[in-house]
Amino acid sequence: MSKAFTRESEQDDDDDAPAAGPLLPAGTKNYMTRQGFVAMREELDQLVKVDRPKVVETVAWAASNGDRSENGDYIYGKKRLREIDRRIRFLIKRLEIAEVVDPAEREETDQVFFGATVTFRICSGDQASPEETFQIVGVDEADASGGRISWISPIGHAILKARVGDRVRLHSPAGWREIEILDVVYR
């Protein structure tokens, strides 16, 4: 059949588009904290048990109304169903390869590893920023405004394996800066 006779919605089908989510570097494990794993599992359960059935019900009702070509409930319901299915596939894949690390089980040390809550300040020349505190977490649970940065983020990567009192160099868009590690806690 010629493309001239196909509906636009068939051409705009974006099932192959990746689900929104950060990429993992090749060959790395998908480290997650217990809280991050539980949150992803709860999101998956919400999508599978609540959201998807509601949308399927709406689409079925809209399809029973007849002409689907101009039926907004049907068209947008199908699009939302594809989004939900894409997110479900993404979450299942991420949870399958997740390696859960519980920072509370780590013995106390002054060295920065995955799960550590680190207090530091960024030094630029003879000026230092105010102290900042972040927990080093997995890529899927990072939220800088919530005090969690990914272990593969520029700052997270720079401070891994550093100890309290160390200064590590970080290349930022504003040039080279030093990060001074002030405190490391595992909770």
Q: Does the structural domain 103-185 have CATH classification 3.20.20.120?
A: no
- Pair 126, 138: CB distance under 8 Å: no
The answer to whether residue 5 scores a pLDDT higher than 60 is: no
For 13-37, write each residue's pLDDT tens digit: 454 455 556 777 777 788 999 999 9
- Pair 120, 131: CB distance under 8 Å: yes
Three-state DSSP state, 150: strand
For 41-94, write each residue's pLDDT tens digit: 999 999 999 999 999 999 999 888 877 777 888 889 999 999 999 999 999 999
| Segment 165-176 mean pLDDT | 89
Question: Residue 36 — φ and ψ, nearest 5°?
Answer: -65, -40
The structural domains of the chain, with segments of one domain joined by +, span: 29-101, 103-185
- pLDDT given for residue 158 in this prediction: 93
| Separation CA 24–CA 149 (nearest Å) | 14
- pLDDT given for residue 11 in this prediction: 43
Tokens 């609540």 correspond to 50
How is residue 76 written in tokens? Answer: 């947008």
Tokens 């904290």 correspond to 33
Distances 43 to 27, 29, 133, 144 between C-alpha atoms, Å:
26, 21, 27, 20
Give the single-character DSSP code of 108.
P
The answer to whether residue 153 scores a pLDDT higher than 50 is: yes
- pLDDT given for residue 21 in this prediction: 67
For 102-149, write each residue's pLDDT tens digit: 988 888 889 999 999 999 998 877 777 899 999 999 999 999 999 999
Give the single-character DSSP code of 50.
I
Torsion of CA 127, 145, 155, 40, to 10 degrees: 170
The answer to whether residue 95 scores a pLDDT higher than 60 is: yes
Fold of 29-101: Helix Hairpins (1.10.287)
- Pair 21, 91: CB distance under 8 Å: no
